Structure 1
């Protein structure tokens, strides 16, 4: 440097003589200026060093801060990948919700040693020696792009993890590669190698909507990662490069896994691979474990806890019962069914089945029939009788089961009929409800009052009908009211819960509302009737699926018009089971009643529960019920009853039973009108005597209105009928 300075001074002193005629040549000027600049630079070197060091420190500090927040950002993404897991009341996994990317992901905390070993050998053999990137691999990839070599990828495990977390797997650009590189370095700075490896194995996609080795192991092989053999591990590792095309469901997967084994120098003779057909069965069983999501999905927004009140194993057994019975009922055109089990007195849902097979796309199985309103048939009758008992009627109250005429709001006549089209004369309400007679139910609803019953449904039970209740009127007693199975089952819980209505619980820590609907003594009267299987023999027979080996249970069946819906709700003081059978398309079945359709499923479900821990054999409380003796029979009422008053509260004083006032008949040669009275009477038509007795035939000869009079010793009654051509 001193020589250069001396030379510069000599030049500046014109010691160097230019051979040209110019006093100074251009070269001399340039050289002088250059050497002068070097001289000045030499004086500035310490200052430049400080500037460079300062900016270098700023860069390092900035990159460190950026790396901290970047790895924190990536860690948050990683943690959000974890799917929400819902367990049943016993802690078993019921279903797993997909994460934000639509993948099912459960993360493991410790990688099985063999999985770890083979993963590193395949993906990144220098994983423990580099700092997030492999410069030699990067150089080889760059060189291969110019036609030298055939290296296709240079990403380390850390870079692959960054790419997954940044969701940039399909976006290959220089900008993304730089971001992935710096993100990988940020992870290396703040995470240990084992943490990075764990994050990677929990984040890698294995196809068919599963992310991470835990769910991949369960999906394809039905085992946890700890139980994977070398062949299965290789099949999963072979999937990583092309999860949609080379996953274990594809026959090519085994070929790729075998090639991988050779590359890793493993002995093929010691490896056991799972064929695609077996994998398909495993996948089918895996998604079958997710069946309950079908029924519980509507409740997800309101769930307060990830632990559900559901019993998974019980639900699986019940679904098999439903599926098997529906297969048997298909020949009678019944294709769909739903079932609910509620634990009493907590009103915790133990089982929900809205479809025999939610994985099937046949027969409307993708429709959840738990929430679809359908006409509930005779299952409404216990509620009608409950209100009647509040108003003074009793199980021993007598009612005439005969033909009655009612005029609907539209002006049309209504003649209620029983299920079997027979009338039984004078019967008790106990007998009428036990045998589900329609005509007495209409008389009881008439006694309760429509407005009173409407208020009970909408105000007390807080039921929301799908149409104005005035559209149903007395048709409610004939089963026309629509309701879904879950609501019906919830309302039925007032009977085993002593008149208290509680909201249904499907998860623990869920807020539950309670409401007193009626007094326990009236509930006990209903329970006494519905638990009496002997009185129900006339309608249901001695041998019936409804007759179970344990006695402390009550039930009510229902069948809608034209056999479109088959219902049953039965309960003990420990649990309640409700079942619906029918068709999604609302098509009629072939004479499948509540007993024959839903009843078969219900009886099997009840027997399953009778043999479970949920059966505490708690007896019904009949402490308020009193026995009364009437005509050599034992009847039931309440203490302090006015027996005679309640006995005849529905007494019908009509003398003429048929025809009804205002009836119209079509005139034909074969028209014969039956005149029927309660007692022996004299019959008159237009004041002309035609005969005596309880029954008499009248054959009109011409059109017109006729005055029919029945006259006994004590009274007489007149009705008017019309005969039209």
Structure 2
């Protein structure tokens, strides 16, 4: 972006429009989202040839990753979600392109002086700015003024472009690798994990279903915990060196002094000293497949009743059933589950049955057996 040259003017408000940018730069920046985090410098000319088709000049992109791929995919996932736009823009608004996966964002400056709409697919980015050349206010904002222009153009462009879908992002965040303050915990940034069943520290084999995070209460501005030059890294050694710090920290501390007694306080004294010992490398869950058995030969139209033997300590919570590596179903009552071989695809004379079992404390085990079908 070529227009952000006066660093002294910009603070945290830059993220909500505190600096001037050109339509070309803004549209090019959105191209990073469309391209899964990869930046290509924009150019107006791809190739220059002479009368004999000899190439005189040619543009070759110098691609580089400027944003983690999954971050770009998450942004595209948000901006292409029609349901999330409905409360603000209404159903099937000017931002909606029927049958197409299109991400779009609008923007309006103070007093409706500038109206923006920028939207994209994986193949094209279209940006529209609308405003008066004397900077007088308009009667309406982004979607109402720039939106119809954007909609008409991208609809025409998509007629000759492939109907593409955005790759789905990974929406699971590992709480053990991403600091609490970046996952929405305002209480603090230091933590430990316990197993809810045993009450002890979560260990290597503690399942995520029984893992509970405890965040130590130590309320500060996010700038206390996040180094702006290394967001995912350790906290800054001297947060007070950030000229913005006190502007955010002081009101937060004033609020906490008045309201802290309304919230539960978590301290390091609550951290257990022992590690979860009921979820282990060899879980206390032992499942045997009784039916179908390995010696019988079943008829294709015969209903086969599943029968399991649980010799573990805890009752079963559920099982997942696979036949020849194809998922068949999930049930909390194995004795009620049955199947007819000829109704299943890809059954052979000899077939593999795999049962993934979970007990009530989320111990997990896999059991595999072979059963035969008469051909």
TM bracket (short chain): 0.3 to 0.5
Q: Which has the higher helix share?
A: 1
Structure with greater Cα Rg:
1
Normalised by the length of structure 1, the TM-score is 0.25
